[in-house]
Amino acid sequence: MKNSKFIIGGLFILAAVVYLIASSTQASAEYFMTIEEVREQESEIVGKSLRISGAVLGDTIDYDPDTLTITFTVAHVTGDNDEIEANGGLALVLYNAVREEGTPRLDVVYNGPMPDLLQNEAQAIMTGYIDADGLFYADELLLKCPTKYEEAVPDQSEG
């Protein structure tokens, strides 16, 4: 009897935490998709919250000075870390994705300040949604240039 109020209290906290986690997950889950998957299921995922990673094509970066709208194209890279390693590391995978013509691509629209790291062969990690026009509207744009953080030994850095 004496313990029951503590047990009830504990269960109440547990229920509250489960509710908080479940409802917040529901409200803010983002689907992580590769560009290849996006291209395959384009019509079904319109409007859904997505998180996409791709290699930035430097030539396509365009910037509208009046609205601060940035548009660029990203090329498909695999989302699988092991596969990236097997293919020679992130830097090389990004480099190849940009160079090869056949990789699926996606046009991105982003409204915001120009990030320092938005450059050719950067890895763009974006959240946003695909609209009916087939463009990806990114709300958030994270960029990673693997070569800037740790590089291969000197003799391998070229190529």
Partner 1 sequence: MLPSLGYGILVITLLVLIYSVAVAIYGEVKKSAAMVESARRAMLLALPLITVASAILIYLLINDRYDVEYVWSVTNRSMPMYLKITAWWGGQPGSLLFWSWLLSSFTSAVTLRKWDRDRELLPWVLVVTGITLAFFISLNVFFENPFKLVPAGVSIPLDGRGLNPLLRHPGMIIHPPAQYLGFVAFTIPFAFAIAALITGRTDDRWIRITRRWTLWAWLFLSLGLVLGMRWAYDVLGWGGYWGWDPVEIAALMPWLTGTAFLHSVMIQEKRGMLKHWNMILIILTFDLVIFGTFLTRSGVLSSVHAFAQSEIGPLFFVFIVFIFVASFALLIHRWVDLKSETEMKSMLSREALFLLNNLLFLSILVVSFWGVMFPLISELFTGSKVTVGPPFYERATGPLWGALMLLMGVAPLSAWGHSTIKTLGRSIWKPAVAALIAPIWALIAGITNWVALIGFTLIALVITVSIREFWRGAQARSKRSGESFFSELWKLIKRNRRRYGGYIIHISMVLMGIGIIGIELFQSDTQQHLGIGDQVELAGYTVQYDRLDQFRHEDGRFITRGEMSLSKDGKDLGTLAPRYDLYPDGQPMTIPAVRSTLVDDVYIILVNWEGITAESTPFKVYHNPLVKWVWIGGYVFIAGIIIAAWRDEEEEKI
Positions in the binding site for partner 1 (CB under 8 A):
2, 5-6, 9-10, 13, 16-17, 20-21, 23-25, 27-33, 51, 53, 63, 65-66, 68, 79, 81, 84-85, 89-90, 112-114, 116-117, 119, 123, 125, 127, 140, 142, 144, 146, 148-151, 153-155
**DSSP letters spanning 83-112:** HHHHTT-HHHHHHHHHH-TTS-EEEEEEES
Output 120 or 135, the one with its CB closest to partner 1.
Answer: 120
Closest distance of CB 101 from partner 1, Å: 26
**107 backbone φψ class: left, alpha, beta (φ>0; ψ -120 to 50):** beta
Closest distance of CB 32 from partner 1, Å: 3
**40 backbone φψ class: left, alpha, beta (φ>0; ψ -120 to 50):** alpha
